[in-house]
Chain A
Amino acid sequence: MDKFIHPALFFILGAFLIPVLKGRIKQIYLLLMPAIAFYFVITANIGVYGEINYLGFSVILGRVDRLSLVFAHVFTLMAFIGVIYGLHVKEDAQHIASYFYVGGALGVVFAGDYLTVFIFWEMMAVASTFLIWFRREPASIKAGFRYLLMHIFGGLLLLGGIFLHYQKTGSMAFVLIPQAGAGLAEYLILAGFALNAAVFPLHAWLPDAYPEATVTGAVFMCAFTTKTAVYVLARAFPGFEVLAIMGTAMTIYGVCYATIENDMRRILSYHIISQVGYMVAGVGIGTELALNGACAHAYAHILYKALLFMGAGSVLMMTGTSKLNQLGGLYKYMPLTLIFYVVGGISISGFPLFSGFVSKSMIVAGAEHAHHPVLMLLMLLASVGTFLSVGLKLPYFAWFGKDSGLRPKEPPKNMLWAMGITSFLCFLIGVYPKVLYDLLPFKEAAAEYHPYALPHLSETVQILLFTGLGFFLLLKRLTPAAHINLDFDWFYRKLMDGFMWFDNRFIQSFDFGWGELYRSLGLKATMAFAGFFARFDRWGIDGVIDNVAYGTQGLGDQVRKVQTGNIQNYIAVALLVIFVIIGVFWFL
């Protein structure tokens, strides 16, 4: 195809038709849009499309290359799966919000300049906030506001960076930034991107907000925001050392909190931080192998993390709780959900034959080949924690453990189908990694990498088996209890309480006093002024205007007398005028 049809169009424009359609036709339509978008992604040719000159800026809507295509590929695929999972949702607005959210992510992925990136970036932030609010719990409303404020803050960092960068270089082009030339502007952009990637210490919004989102909304959210951020980091900041270090720190930080959390979806949220850490580290290492690994891991992660969120969401929907201390013994009632969840769990843990094994190892190998042994060991330690908390602790206490007395049913068929399809994809990528490797940005480096090498197999199997042993040895210590854990959101949540106290005590009383003063003094003065101007208007301005009108009317009456309708009179008047003009010229 020579033309490039932007896949975001099907989501952004497609959203407007959702409220018009009904019943089965709407469901087919909801599935059809991501399917068409997916078709246009796989048939797209590499090139630059949709370049518009706007206010002197060159706006590029469609830069298509291998890096943007791999992300667009998994985004449209994930949108399809997410729609299946949410097909039972009756509320149109939820579908519209997720459509705009996906459209925003695709817009960023194909953007070739910072203005376009910024606009779609904000679209994602706003659309995803609604996916939190639609749960309609008081906690969700509050968490949604915190989420939105954090993302607006991140957007402002980004915007400030973009302006400074433009001032410095005179270009809005969204391209690779070399580490040597990076100054304040570039690091502001980096910070804006890093906030969306949940890079420590800008990460607290993620485990704060995602567990409060709707069951279906969380499945969308875990896929798009952080992975779009990984994409923009990979586009602009490959090889930045700070990312390699921060990314590795994230891998550990996420699993540490996941080990002690009680809420299923919060455990999974902390694991997003950990898993995105691998990708950020891959971008920071910046070799072809590591960048391929970051993309492969983003691809695989979107699928299995969505699968895990779908499983946990099913339990939440059918039992009404996602807290491990209230769950247990569900394997008799939700066995299929358990099986699908476990597929996600062993995929994220990197079991051989499942997708994590072929994607995570690429980044770890990237660290090893680039001679970062410490980073490599820490990443493998994080994978110990991954299997421990997501692969063992969560399913053990939700589906086994003590009998909670809950007797839920399996979730609706569409949700089971979505989980089944995703499970199959995780398995497919694991046994046939070529389907994923062929999509990666550096083709040769991807073809050279072989995940099923003996040392790697030996390493993985040992780590997983002995992590399992450690888990069962210390099982009693992990028994979940009704607690929450402090994280960096403490700063803005508790500081905000302090601010509110200050506001109540001082600012509000000042405001109140000022209001009183204004009402008694200001308002009277304003009324007096208004009265004066009303009179001036009536007698002064209106008088002048009215008199001009009367004068015009009078003149018109005089002119009308000349217009008799007889041709001889007009000729006489015309001749008279000509004589007057000639006379004037003659005498002057």
Chain B
Amino acid sequence: MNWANPIQYLRDHLKALKWILYLVMAAAIVFSAVIPHHESHDFFMKMIGFPAFWSVFGLIGCILLIRIMKGLAHTVLEKKEDYYG
């Protein structure tokens, strides 16, 4: 069996795959809103129980990580490959 075929199939249907993923994201947010959470007066526990909290956390975390680290790399960290000789 050529294992590349199923991967190729997914690549040929990228648009459909994208829409499926958008639907799954929406479903995940709905899911986070309906599941029961700990009743707590603790601010932190309330915050993480908020619907879609982790979605926002994931998205913002990812964007910040890329932005900050790429910025640091371009300004300070990045060196040519033969830097150490």
> Which residues of B lie under 8 Å from residue A470 when comparing CB positions?
58-59, 61-63, 66
> Which residues B34-85 have CB closer than 8 A to chain A?
35-38, 44, 48-49, 52-59, 61-63, 65-70, 72-73, 76-81, 83-84
A466 and B58 within 8 A (CB): yes
The interface on chain A, measured as residues whose beta carbon lies within 8 A of the other chain's beta carbons, has a size of: 46
> Which residues of A lie under 8 Å from residue B63 when comparing CB positions?
470, 473-474
Rounded to whole Å, the gap between the CB of B26 and the closest CB of chain A is: 10
B52 and A462 within 8 A (CB): yes
B8 and A477 within 8 A (CB): no
Of A454, A466, A484, the contact of B79 (CB 8 Å cutoff): A484
> Which residues of B lie under 8 Å from residue A466 when comparing CB positions?
25, 54-59, 62
A462 and B21 within 8 A (CB): no
B66 and A259 within 8 A (CB): yes
Rounded to whole Å, the gap between the CB of B62 and the closest CB of chain A is: 3
The interface on chain B, measured as residues whose beta carbon lies within 8 A of the other chain's beta carbons, has a size of: 47
Rounded to whole Å, the gap between the CB of A388 and the closest CB of chain B is: 6
A455 and B37 within 8 A (CB): yes
Q: Are A462 and B2 CB-contacts (below 8 A) given A256-B65, A455-B37, A470-B66?
A: no
In the bound complex, CA of A487 to CA of B72 (Å): 12
A259 and B84 within 8 A (CB): no
Of A336, A459, A461, A493, the contact of B84 (CB 8 Å cutoff): A493
Task: Decide if A177 is an interface residue (CB 8 Å cutoff).
Answer: no
Of A331, A332, A384, A493, the contact of B65 (CB 8 Å cutoff): A384
Task: Decide if A544 is an interface residue (CB 8 Å cutoff).
Answer: no
Rounded to whole Å, the gap between the CB of B3 and the closest CB of chain A is: 4
A260 and B44 within 8 A (CB): no
B35 and A332 within 8 A (CB): no
Task: Decide if A478 is an interface residue (CB 8 Å cutoff).
Answer: yes
The residue on B at minimum CB distance from A139 is B84
B54 and A459 within 8 A (CB): yes
Rounded to whole Å, the gap between the CB of B48 and the closest CB of chain A is: 8
Of A373, A465, A474, the contact of B28 (CB 8 Å cutoff): A465
Rounded to whole Å, the gap between the CB of B55 and the closest CB of chain A is: 4
B25 and A465 within 8 A (CB): yes
- Provide the B6-28 mask, 1 if CB < 8 A to any CB of A, else 0: 01100100000000010011001
> Which residues of A lie under 8 Å from residue B11 when comparing CB positions?
331, 400
In the bound complex, CA of A105 to CA of B36 (Å): 45
B28 and A461 within 8 A (CB): yes
Rounded to whole Å, the gap between the CB of A254 and the closest CB of chain B is: 12
In the bound complex, CA of A388 to CA of B64 (Å): 12
A463 and B4 within 8 A (CB): no
In the bound complex, CA of A333 to CA of B44 (Å): 48
> Which residues A480-528 have CB closer than 8 A to chain B?
482-487, 493
The residue on B at minimum CB distance from A380 is B57
The residue on B at minimum CB distance from A261 is B73
> Which residues of B lie under 8 Å from residue A462 when comparing CB positions?
28-29, 32, 52-55, 57-58
In the bound complex, CA of A335 to CA of B83 (Å): 35
Q: Are A331 and B7 CB-contacts (below 8 A) given A470-B63, A484-B79, A485-B77?
A: yes
Task: Decide if A27 is an interface residue (CB 8 Å cutoff).
Answer: no
Rounded to whole Å, the gap between the CB of B38 and the closest CB of chain A is: 8
B79 and A259 within 8 A (CB): no
A465 and B77 within 8 A (CB): no
Task: Decide if A430 is an interface residue (CB 8 Å cutoff).
Answer: no
Give 10 new A-B contacts, CB below 8 A, not counting A259-B65, A467-B62: A331-B4, A335-B4, A384-B58, A388-B62, A458-B32, A462-B57, A466-B59, A470-B63, A483-B79, A484-B78
Residues on B facing A (Cβ under 8 Å) = 2-4, 7-8, 11, 21, 24-25, 28-29, 31-32, 35-38, 44, 48-49, 52-59, 61-63, 65-70, 72-73, 76-81, 83-84
**A-B residue pairs in contact (CB < 8 Å), sample of 20:** A256-B68, A260-B69, A335-B3, A454-B36, A455-B38, A461-B28, A462-B58, A465-B24, A465-B28, A466-B56, A466-B58, A466-B59, A466-B62, A467-B59, A468-B21, A470-B62, A471-B62, A474-B67, A483-B80, A486-B78
By Cβ-Cβ distance, the 10 closest A-B pairs, closest first, are: A470-B62, A466-B58, A335-B3, A462-B54, A463-B58, A466-B59, A384-B61, A335-B4, A485-B77, A260-B73
